[in-house]
Amino acid sequence: MTETKSEKDIDELVARTTKIDLSDLLCPICADVFVIPRTYDCGHTVCETCMYEMDIRQLSDDTHVAVIYKCPVCRDPTLKSWNNRPLNFLLEQLASKHPDYEKRKREVTEMIHHRKSQLIYIPDTVDLAKTSYDSRINLALDLYEILLEKLYIAAKDGKNHLIIKEKAIVSNIEKVGDILSYQLFKKHNVYRILTTRGECTIYLTRDAFNWRRNHENRSWVDPTDPTNHQSFEAPPPPPPVETHSPLIHRRNFRRNPVGLSPRNSPRNTTTN
C-alpha cells in the first residue's frame, strides 16, 4: 500500500514538472536559465553567478564590521556567503531541460573556475590570534615603506600634513594604525595620525591643525560704512632694496615726485 502511494506521488510530481512554465526556470536577477542555483535562508533561489555578484556589491566599507548579505528578492539578511548556501539540485535538474541550458552553462564555466579559485581553505586547528598578528605586522611594514616616501616628499615640499582618500588604503591603515604610528612617531617625529571611514590624515607638526586656505583680516574696516570715522593712514613704504640686489630691475619701482618730469629731475640737471 505504501509503495503504491509513493509511485502515485512520483507520477504526480512528474506530471507537474512536465507542465512547468519555462519562465519558472529563469533566475529572477539575470533572467537567464538557472545554472548552479543556490538558495538563501529565506527560501529564494538565485543562480550562483548572480549570487556571487550580489555578495561582492554588499561588502561593507567599515573595516571591523562583519558583512551582512541580503537576499536580492526580499532583503532578508544572512551571514552566509554564496559558497555556504545550499545548492538546489531539483531546480538544477528541471533547468537542464530548458533549451538554453547547455549554452548558458558553457558561458558560466570560466566564471565558476574563477570563483572556486578564490575560496579559502581553513584548517581545523588554526590559531586565529597568531594569524592576525602576523598579517598585521606584514601589512604595517608594507604600508610603512610606501608612506615614508610620500611623507618625506611632502615635508620637502613644505607641507605639514598629508591626506589619503583611497578607501582601500585607508582601510588598511586603520587595521594597523597602532603599529604604523609607533614606527612613524618613534623614528620620524610625526605628530599625529587621524583615520576616519573616508580618509586618513597624517600630521607632521602640531600647527598643522591650524592649516587653512582662508585667511581673514580681523581688523579690516569698511571704507564705505558712513558710521566709521576712523582715519586711514598711508601704508608704510617698502623696505629699501640694495642696489646690488638682482631684484632691483623687476621689483623696485618708484613714482617720480609731482611736478618733476624725468628730464627736470635733479638727477638729470646739469651744472653750468
Please write down the HEC assignment for all residues of the chain. CHHHHHHHHHHHHHHHHHCCCHHHHECCCCCCECCCEEECCCCCEEEHHHHHHHHHHCCCCCCCCCCCEECCCCCCEECCCHHHCCECHHHHHHHCCCCCHHHHHHHHHHHHHHHHHCCCCCCCCCCHHHHHHHHHHHHHHHHHHHHHHHHHHHHHCCCCEEEECCHHHHHHHHHCHHHHHHHHHHHHCCCEEEECCCCEEEECCHHHHHCCCCCCCCCCCCCCCCCCCCCCCCCCCCCCCCCCCCCHHHHCCCCCCCCCCCCCCHHHCCCC
Per-residue pLDDT, 17: 56
Instruction: Note the pLDDT of residue 200.
Output: 92
pLDDT of 255 reads 46
Q: Please tell me the predicted confidence (pLDDT) of residue 28.
A: 92
Amino acid 111: pLDDT? 79
| Predicted local confidence at residue 221, as pLDDT | 82
* pLDDT score, position 219: 80
Per-residue pLDDT of the chain in tens (272 residues, 90 and over written 9): 444 556 566 556 555 555 667 778 899 999 999 999 999 999 999 999 999 989 988 877 677 778 889 999 999 999 898 989 999 988 888 888 888 888 888 888 877 877 777 777 888 898 999 999 999 999 999 999 999 999 999 999 999 999 999 888 999 999 999 999 999 999 999 999 999 888 999 999 988 777 666 777 788 788 888 777 655 566 677 666 555 444 444 444 444 454 544 455 454 444 44
Delineate the domains of the chain, giving CATH numbers in brackets.
10-117 (3.30.40.10), 128-210 (3.30.1370)
What per-residue confidence (pLDDT) applies to 123? 85
